[in-house]
Amino acid sequence: MPGEGGDRPDFAGIVSGAPLAVRMRPASLDEVVGQQHLLGPGSPLRRLVEGSGAASVLLYGPPGTGKTTLASLISHATGRRFEALSALSAGVKEVRAVIDLARRRLTAGEQTVLFIDEVHRFSKTQQDALLAAVENRIVLLVGATTENPSFSVVSPLLSRSLVLQLQSLSEDDIRTVLQRALTDERGLGGRFTITDEAVDHLVRIAGGDARRALTALEAAAETGAEQITLELVEKSVDRAAVRYDRDGDQHYDVISAFIKSLRGSDVDAALHYLARMIVAGEDPRFIARRLMIQASEEVGMADPTALQTATAAAQVVQLVGMPEAQLALAQATIHIATAPKSGSVTAALGAAIADVRAGKAGLVPAPLRDGHYAGAQKLGNAIGYKYPHDHPDGVLAQQYPPDELVGVDYYEPTDHGAEREIGPRVGKLRRIVRG
């Protein structure tokens, strides 16, 4: 609810049981690692963090680069109250509730920083609800996004905000973050030593993401060994990956399990992995894209309506947004998982592509060629073409493929679902067309 935990963030008060990445979140601008291109003297971001700036800001950059940290520091430095919403779970109602709360605070002389994580996931309606509050400075908006806001944030909101691009941390930055976590009392407090090889591996798997590095380090430290070695880190990465999913970042194992559960018709497992992705903060557009692909790849003509359902779910994601769109994603998941399965679409296209790549791409038969330009008939193009609709059955004997591919079958219907009826029809059509 808005207002709960709405005070300025108290980094010193973070409980010791919090994740290492949370405990090590910078408490001041001096502790921020990286992003020096945005934190130079007099820069807009520095002015905001130091409390002398008043513009709303969109922080755009990869995960683990400090977007949430900077938003918290802005609130802490300015003395404003801090409210945080996630675009994954908040709707227009929640946005308006925070704005109403900020308006009441303003009458009492208090200002509010509204932090919206993954703001690009807000629908146009949700973003429009912010406009008046941002323009009238009822709230200082700090939006965080991993996607280019030029393509995902509405123009009126974009024009009222500073857009600042954060960069992935360098290897040296990640080393600094790890070393600080090892020695700082908020972190591991010097209770562990670590080998150079282990540090190198943590830097490599971090990929410029400080949170990923700290999560992996914490997983290794939880084994209880006094020295963190390369072998220990490698064994601990799987545990870190699971936690990292829960903290809201992509992990390929989950989407892989989701796809395989859909293919295997285990609707309950598919819903479980869908729920994990939703809770983890997976981009719903990514989930929708996978569902559309699965509808053709795994179901295909066994149930042609599966693709319609998946496409409709993608439209709901785009037009309605989360959290409501998660119901459409669940509906598409259930449809695909419970539908009869057929890989015939994938197999048919693969076989056709293989022949083309093997050089089996002869001349288009003359009757099928374009005959609309001057001189086409002199070349024999379009002469002798038989118009199927002139025949009572709408289908007649005529050569359509190149000579080299006459009689080749690519599409092989299964006897699953709708293909039980399609199969005999395909056979009949081939006999008529091929004469």
Residue 216: DSSP 8-state:
H
Q: Which pLDDT value is given to residue 5?
A: 40
pLDDT of residue 247: 41
- pLDDT tens series, the chain, 435 aa: 344 344 434 433 334 567 888 888 888 777 888 887 777 777 777 776 665 556 678 888 877 777 878 777 776 766 677 788 877 777 778 888 888 998 998 888 888 888 888 888 787 887 887 888 888 888 888 888 877 787 778 888 888 888 888 887 888 999 999 999 999 988 888 888 999 989 988 888 777 788 888 988 988 888 778 899 988 888 776 544 444 344 444 456 788 889 999 999 999 999 998 988 887 667 788 899 999 999 999 999 999 999 999 999 999 988 888 888 999 999 999 999 999 999 999 999 999 999 888 888 888 888 888 877 777 777 778 788 888 998 998 999 999 999 888 999 999 999 999 989 999 999 999 999 998
Q: How many residues does the chain have?
A: 435
Q: Are residues 143 and 59 in contact, defined by beta-carbon separation less than 8 angstroms?
A: yes
DSSP per residue, 179-203: HHHHHSTTTTTT--EE-HHHHHHHH
Directed axis angle between helix 196-206 and helix 210-221, to 10°? 140
Distance of CA 129 to the CA centre of its chain: 23
DSSP string, 127-174: HHTTHHHHHTTSEEEEEEESS-HHHHS-HHHHHTEEEEE--PPPHHHH
Please work out, in degrees rounded to the nearest 5, the angle formed at the alpha carbon of residue 242 by the alpha carbons of 240 and 246: 110
- The residues near 262 (Cβ < 8 Å, ≥ 6 apart) are 270, 294, 298, 333, 336, 337
Note the pLDDT of residue 337: 95
Which of 324, 310, 317, 343 minimizes the C-alpha distance to 413? 343
- Please, what is the angle between helix 196-206 and helix 171-183, to 10°? 120
Q: What is the model's pLDDT at position 376?
A: 72
Three-state DSSP at 99 gives helix
| CA separation for the pair 300, 307 (Å, rounded) | 8
| Cα–Cα separations (whole angstroms), residue 352 to 228, 299, 365, 405, 412 | 53, 19, 18, 10, 12
Cα dihedral 398, 401, 403, 404 in deg (nearest 10): -150
- Which pLDDT belongs to residue 13? 39
CA 59, CA 137: separation in Å to the nearest integer? 18
